[in-house]
Amino acid sequence: MLLTVKDLERLQRENPDYQMELVGGKIIVMSPSGLESEEVATEITAQLRNWVRPRKLGRVLGSSAGYILPNEDEDVRAPDVSFIRAEKLKKTTPDYVKIVPDLIFEVKSKTDSLPKLREKIATFLQLGTQVGVLVDPRTRTLEVYRLGLETLVLKDEDTLKVSEVLPGWELVICEIWAPEFE
């Protein structure tokens, strides 16, 4: 039996302590990501939000924001970090939204599979996301995906720019990693 968005909403109400996604009519229960990947995702969110919000360019969201995707199964997916342009969502909602974000980040945790994260990013790109970024804290790299273009791999000495989505915003790669305290 394939499940629907309504089934996901019911399961989420009945099990509020679990984060879930709906993929291909099946529920995927998301496990806690671990400290390192969450710290990196939080830093990306903070830097993106601190640039977007004063300019009123749109919404920056974390891993609990669910998107109903315009695919055959109406999957509900939640990237670790996402950005939606203001004109696409003028007012917020307590519900999942039928919108494809313009920019997404997936931060690899120790239990994540790189092929599955790449597949998730590819799905978003095929449905209209302009840029998808796979962040790997272990290798300190970012894989930047744009539909139909070659993957760009960035390292510590590089800067991420997504001028097609946010002209002028830059993310200095070496600044997103979890700090070490002496």
φ and ψ at residue 101, rounded to 5 degrees: -65, 155
CA 86/CA 134 separation, integer angstroms: 24
pLDDT digits (tens, 9 = 90+) for 49-106: 999 999 999 999 999 899 999 988 889 999 999 999 999 999 999 999 999 999 999 9
Q: pLDDT > 90: what percent of the chain?
A: 80
How far, in Å, CA of 123 to CA of 94, rounded?
24
31 pLDDT above the threshold of 90: no
In this prediction the pTM is 0.93
Alpha-carbon gap, residue 125 to 133, rounded angstroms: 11
Q: What is the pLDDT of residues 123-142, one digit of tens each?
A: 999 999 999 999 999 999 99
**Three-state SS at 88:** helix
Q: Helix or strand or coil: residue 167?
A: coil
What pLDDT was estimated at residue 178? 94
HSE-CB of 15 using CA atoms within 13 angstroms: 12
β-pairing, 159-161 with 170-172?
antiparallel
The reported pLDDT for the residue numbered 73 is 82
Helix (H) or strand (E) holding 21: strand 19-23
CATH classification of 33-175 is 3.40.50.300, yes or no? Answer: no
Q: What single string gives the DSSP state of each residue in 130-165?
A: SEEEEEETTTTEEEEE-TTSPPEEE-TT-EEE-TTT
What phi, psi does 124 have (nearest 5°)? -60, -45
- For the segment 157-178, the average pLDDT, to the nearest whole number, is 97
Q: What is the CA radius of gyration of the chain?
A: 16
Q: What's phi and psi for 132, nearest 5 deg?
A: -125, 135
How far is Cα of residue 171 from the mean position of the Cα atoms in its chain? 15
96, 159 Cβ separation under 8 angstroms: no
* Averaged pLDDT, 110-133: 96
Domain ranges of the chain: 33-175
